[in-house]
C-alpha cells in the first residue's frame, strides 16, 4: 500500500472513498444519557452532506461502526464513509488507529483502491499523533493472512491518502510535525506487518534456518550488522539450554544476532538487548501437546519476529543508543534424540536445569539468549515470547503480561505503552514464587507446577538476568487474533513490536513524535 499526505479541505479532494471520523457525544451531564453522533471535522460541505443521516438516528458513532454514503452532495469524492470511535469522553489515539484499520478493511472487499482518511479535529492530542495513528492503523488493516490461497484475489488498497484539513490554520511547525509523524507511521506500520508476515508463515516454510535468512536479508537491506549461527556455535558457547530444545529436530537451530550501532552515542549510554523466542514450530517435544489446535504452534516464534521487526524500524529511525537483537530459533520436536522429562541440562550461565516438561521450552532458549545478550555487552534487557498458556488463563486474549525486576526500566516501558497503544498488565515477581522452581537434583526446574505458571516462568528467566534491569513480555494470548475484528484480520497481530521500539527510543533522549495525550474530557 502506497501512502501520501494531502493538505486540503476534506470536501475538496477527488477520490474513491473519503473517511470522516465521528464520536458519540452527550450534552447532558447525566451519567448514562444517550449521546448523538458528531463528526470530527469543521468542513461545512461534509457536515451538510451527512446532516440528514446523522439526524435520522441510523448512525450512533459507536466504536468501529460504519455508514456509507454514495455520491455525497457537493463533493467530488465518490463515497463518504463515516466511522465511529465511541464515546467522546473516552476516546484515545488508539481509537484513531482502529478507525483507520476499519476504513481499509471496509474498502478492500468492495474493490475500493483509494482511501482518504481525514485527521480528526478538536481532539485532545496533536495532529501529528493522529497522523501517525492513521498510518499505522491503516497498515494493520491492510494485512491479510491468505498468503497461500490459490484463489487469492487482489483486494489491496493501492493508495492511502492522509488528509490534513484546515490548511490555513496549520503553522509551518505543525506541518513539519505532521510530515515527520507520517514518515514514522510508515516505518512502524511496515515493520509491524513484516513481523506479522513472519508469524503467518507455516512451519515447513519458516524453519529456523529460513528465519535466519530472512533476518539477515532485512539487516542487509537496512544496513544492520547480522550474524546467523547454528549448531557448532551454540555448542561452542555452551548454550546447553538452547541446544536441549533443538536436539530433537532434524532442522538445525539458528542463533540470530542483529546489531544497530548509531554514529553518535554518549560514553555512558546504555546498551539495549532485545531477546526473542523463535520456536518456529512447537509440538511440545516428548511432553507432546494435544493435536487440537497444534497447527497454530507455527506462531510460537512471534516474540522473535517482534524483535526482527523492531530492528527493522530501529534501523530506519536512528535512535542514539546501541541495540543488540538476539533470536533463538529452533523446532521443538519429539525425535529420537529429543530431551526427556527428568534430564538435566547446563545453561550457558552454568546454572543446571531439571527438565520437568519438555513443552516448557521457550524459557530454555530465552535463558541462553539473555545470558548471551549480557555477554555481548547489553546493560538493559527486554525479551518477548509466546511463553505460557497460564498467562492466557490469567489475562485472556485482551492484554499481554509484563514482568520486571527494576522499577526504572518498567517506567520506561510504561511510557512506551502510552505511545504504542498496546495493552500489557504487570504481574508480580515476589521471591516466594522462586521456591516453586527449586529442584532436588539441579539448581532449578523448568516448570513450577500448575499454579501461577506465567509467574514461575518469569521467575525462571529472572535467574539468568541477575541484577541487569530487565523486562519480560509474555504475549501468548495476544500474538494471534482469534476472531476477525473490524480493524484487523484474524491471524498474527504483531503485538509487542511497537512497544519494544518505543522502549528503545525512551533511552536515546529523543522521543519519537508524537506522544499520546490523555483521553478527551
Render pLDDT for 422-448 as a digit per residue (tens, 0 to 9).
999 999 999 999 999 999 999 999 999
Residue 419: Cβ within 10 Å count:
24
Report how far residue 5's alpha carbon sits from residue 17's, in angstroms, rounded to the nearest whole number: 15
Report how far residue 40's alpha carbon sits from residue 95's, in angstroms, rounded to the nearest whole number: 13
**CB–CB of 376/274 below 8 Å?**
no
Residue among 160, 163, 116 nearest 140 (CA): 160
Which positions ≥6 away from 454 have C-beta within 8 Å?
A: 387, 388, 390, 391, 394, 401, 427, 474
Binned at pLDDT 50, 70 and 90, residue 166 comes out as confident
DSSP secondary structure letter of residue 396: T
Report how far residue 141's alpha carbon sits from residue 330's, in angstroms, rounded to the nearest whole number: 30
pLDDT of residue 519 exceeding 50, the answer is no
Averaged pLDDT for residues 3-22: 94
Residue-level pLDDT at 445: 98
Binned at pLDDT 50, 70 and 90, residue 509 comes out as low
Domain 194-505 falls in which CATH fold? Aminopeptidase (3.40.630)
Averaged pLDDT for residues 273-279: 98
Report how far residue 344's alpha carbon sits from residue 360's, in angstroms, rounded to the nearest whole number: 14
The 10s digit of each residue's pLDDT in 45-85 is 999 999 999 999 999 999 999 999 999 999 999 999 999 99
Report how far residue 366's alpha carbon sits from residue 473's, in angstroms, rounded to the nearest whole number: 12
Residue-level pLDDT at 521: 31
Q: Which of 78, 238, 289, 485 is catalytic?
A: 289
Tell me the CATH number for domain 2-169. Answer: 3.40.220.10
Return the exposure string of 433-462: e unless at least 16 CB atoms fall within 10 Å of the residue's CB, then b.
Answer: bbebbeeeebbbbbbbeeebbbbbbbbbbb
Percent of the chain topping pLDDT 70: 96
Averaged pLDDT for residues 224-249: 98
Q: Which of 363, 374, 462, 498 is catalytic?
A: 363
pLDDT of residue 298 exceeding 70, the answer is yes
Mean pLDDT in the chain? 94
Catalytic site residue 363? yes
Averaged pLDDT for residues 374-400: 98
pTM of this prediction? 0.95
Catalytic site residue 411? no
Which positions ≥6 away from 435 have C-beta within 8 Å?
A: none
Averaged pLDDT for residues 355-384: 98
Tell me the H-state helices in 265-406.
Answer: 302-317, 362-375, 389-395
Binned at pLDDT 50, 70 and 90, residue 516 comes out as very low
Report how far residue 26's alpha carbon sits from residue 520's, in angstroms, rounded to the nearest whole number: 13
Report how far residue 389's alpha carbon sits from residue 369's, in angstroms, rounded to the nearest whole number: 21
User: Which residues of the chain does CATH 3.40.630.10 include?
Assistant: 194-505
Binned at pLDDT 50, 70 and 90, residue 155 comes out as confident
C-alpha cell at 67: 455508514
User: Which residues of the chain does CATH 3.40.220.10 include?
Assistant: 2-169
Residue among 13, 42, 5, 37 nearest 23 (CA): 37
Which positions ≥6 away from 372 have C-beta within 8 Å?
A: 237, 239, 255, 326, 348
Phi-psi region of 345 (alpha: psi -120 to 50; beta: other; left: phi over 0): beta
pLDDT of residue 361 exceeding 50, the answer is yes
Amino acid at each position: 500500500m502506497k501512502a501520501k499526505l494531502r493538505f486540503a479541505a476534506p470536501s475538496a479532494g477527488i477520490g474513491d472513498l473519503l473517511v470522516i471520523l465521528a464520536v458519540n457525544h452527550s450534552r447532558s451531564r447525566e451519567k448514562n444519557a444517550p449521546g448523538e453522533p458528531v463528526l470530527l471535522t469543521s468542513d461545512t460541505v461534509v457536515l451538510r452532506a451527512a446532516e440528514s443521516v446523522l439526524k435520522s438516528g441510523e448512525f450512533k458513532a459507536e466504536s468501529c461502526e460504519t455508514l456509507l454514503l454514495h455520491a455525497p452532495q457537493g463533493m467530488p469524492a465518490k463515497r463518504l464513509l463515516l466511522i465511529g470511535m465511541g464515546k467522546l469522553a473516552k476516546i484515545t489515539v488508539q481509537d484513531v488507529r482502529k478507525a483507520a484499520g476499519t476504513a481499509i478493511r471496509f474498502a478492500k472487499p468492495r474493490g475500493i483502491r483509494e482511501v482518504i482518511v481525514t485527521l480528526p479535529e478538536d481532539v485532545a492530542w496533536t495532529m501529528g499523533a493522529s497522523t501517525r495513528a492513521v498510518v499505522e492503523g491503516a497498515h494493520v488493516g491492510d494485512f491479510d493472512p491468505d498468503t497461500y490461497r490459490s484463489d487469492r484475489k487482489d483486494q489491496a488498497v493501492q493508495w492511502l491518502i492522509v488528509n490534513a484539513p484546515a490548511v490555513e490554520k496549520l503553522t509551518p511547525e505543525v506541518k513539519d510535525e505532521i510530515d515527520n509523524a507520517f514518515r514514522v507511521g510508515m516505518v512502524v506500520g511496515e515493520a509491524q506487518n513484516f513481523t506479522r508476515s513472519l508469524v503467518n508463515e507455516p512451519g515447513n516454510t519458516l524453519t529456523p534456518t529460513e528465519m535466519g535468512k530472512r533476518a539477515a536479508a532485512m539487516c542487509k537491506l537496512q544496513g544492520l550488522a547480522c550474524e546467523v549461527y547454528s549448531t557448532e556455535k551454540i555448542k561452542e558457547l555452551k548454550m546447553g539450554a538452547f541446544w536441549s530444545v533443538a536436539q530433537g529436530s532434524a532442522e538445525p537451530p539458528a542463533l540470530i544476532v542483529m546489531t544497530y550501532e548509531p554514529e553518535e552515542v554518549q560514553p555512558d549510554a546504555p546498551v539495549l538487548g532485545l531477546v526473542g523466542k523463535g520456536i518456529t514450530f512447537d509440538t511440545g517435544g516428548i511432553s507432546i501437546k494435544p493435536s487440537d489446535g497444534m497447527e497454530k504452534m507455527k506462531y510460537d516464534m512471534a516474540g522473535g519476529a517482534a524483535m526482527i521487526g523492531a530492528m527493522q524500524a530501529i534501523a530506519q529511525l536512528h535512535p542514539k543508543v546501541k541495540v543488540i537483537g538476539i533470536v533463538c530459533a529452533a523446532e521443538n520436536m519429539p525425535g529420537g534424540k529429543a530431551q526427556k522429562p527428568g534430564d538435566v541440562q547446563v545453561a550457558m550461565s552454568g546454572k543446571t536445569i531439571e527438565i520437568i516438561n519438555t513443552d516448557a521450552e521457550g524459557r530454555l532458549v530465552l535463558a541462553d539468549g539473555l545470558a548471551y545478550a549480557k555477554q555481548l555487552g547489553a546493560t538493559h534487557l527486554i525479551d518477548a515470547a509466546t511463553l505460557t498458556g497460564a498467562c492466557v488463563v490469567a489475562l485472556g486474549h485482551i492484554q499481554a503480561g509484563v514482568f520486571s525486576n527494576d522499577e526504572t526500566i518498567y517506567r520506561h516501558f510504561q511510557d512506551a505503552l502510552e505511545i504504542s497503544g498496546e495493552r500489557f498488565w504487570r504481574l508480580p515477581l515476589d521471591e516466594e514464587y522462586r521456591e516453586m522452581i527449586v529442584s532436588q537434583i539441579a539448581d532449578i526446574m523448568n516448570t513450577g507446577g500448575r499454579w501461577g505458571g506465567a509467574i514461575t516462568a518469569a521467575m525462571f528467566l529472572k535467574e539468568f538476568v541477575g541484577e541487569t534491569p530487565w523486562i519480560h513480555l509474555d504475549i501468548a494470548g495476544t500474538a494471534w487474533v482469534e476472531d476477525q475484528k473490524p480493524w484487523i484480520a484474524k491471524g498474527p497481530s504483531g503485538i509487542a513490536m511497537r512497544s519494544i521500539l518505543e522502549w528503545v527510543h525512551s533511552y536515546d533522549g529523543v522521543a519519537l513524535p508524537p506522544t499520546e495525550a490523555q483521553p478527551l474530557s
